[in-house]
Amino acid sequence: MIPAPAGGRPPHRPAPPFPAAALGRTAVRLSGILGLMTSAAGTFDIDRFDTEKPHDERDGVTLSRAHITKTFHGDLEGGSETDIIMVHTAVPAAYAGIERFEGSVHGRKGGFVLQHDAGGTAGVPWMTWKIVETSGTGDLAGIRGEGQIIVGPGGEHSYTLAYEI
């Protein structure tokens, strides 16, 4: 037992991991609700990365746009088109974007839209995405979830996605 501090409330202790990972499912917090979600993972290739001329450059901060085409492998099989707005300072600092995926997730065919959010904290980058609710089509109608993009040391891209339909 953790002793209570002077204020009388014990310090917060995270809950132990949920054992659902062995079932291909994971416990995640989605929009403030803890639920059991199916886990998807794999890699993707960037087929095209077309940047536009920066539309705002001043005081060491540059804003620009890019259009990206990807091919997904693993639990997501298919392709996507993404439009992002990037912020560059001395290093790439952040981006936000919208991506339309078409293909299959664990064999279920259809599509959905992902909302990207990326930045860095203390020089460590992070990239997350969230499925736009009501954007699922075909067998993926009703899908919702969120995940992340991981860039490996050699520049390879992988993803995780926790979702439910």
Does residue 109 sit within a domain? yes
Does residue 145 sit within a domain? yes
113: nearest Cα among 91, 96, 133: 133
Give pLDDT, residue 24: 43
Number of domains in the chain: 1
Does residue 65 sit within a domain? yes
What confidence tens digit (pLDDT) does each residue in 28-72 have? 444 444 467 899 999 999 999 999 988 899 998 999 999 999 999
Residues of the chain with pLDDT under 50: 1-34
The domain of 143 spans: 40-164
Does residue 23 sit within a domain? no
Per DSSP, 10 falls in state P
Does residue 135 sit within a domain? yes
Does residue 31 sit within a domain? no
* Residue keyed to tokens 């390879």: 156
CA 98 – CA 117 distance, rounded (Å): 9
Q: What is the pTM of this model?
A: 0.76
Alpha carbon separation from 8 to 1, 2, 13, 14, 126 (Å, rounded):
14, 12, 15, 18, 36
Using DSSP's 3-state secondary structure scheme, residue 23 falls into: helix
Query: CATH number of the domain that 128 lies in?
Result: 2.40.350.10
Does residue 18 sit within a domain? no
DSSP letters spanning 32-79: TEEEEEEEEEEEEEEEEEEEPPPSEEETTEEEEEEEEEEEEEESEEEE
Does residue 160 sit within a domain? yes
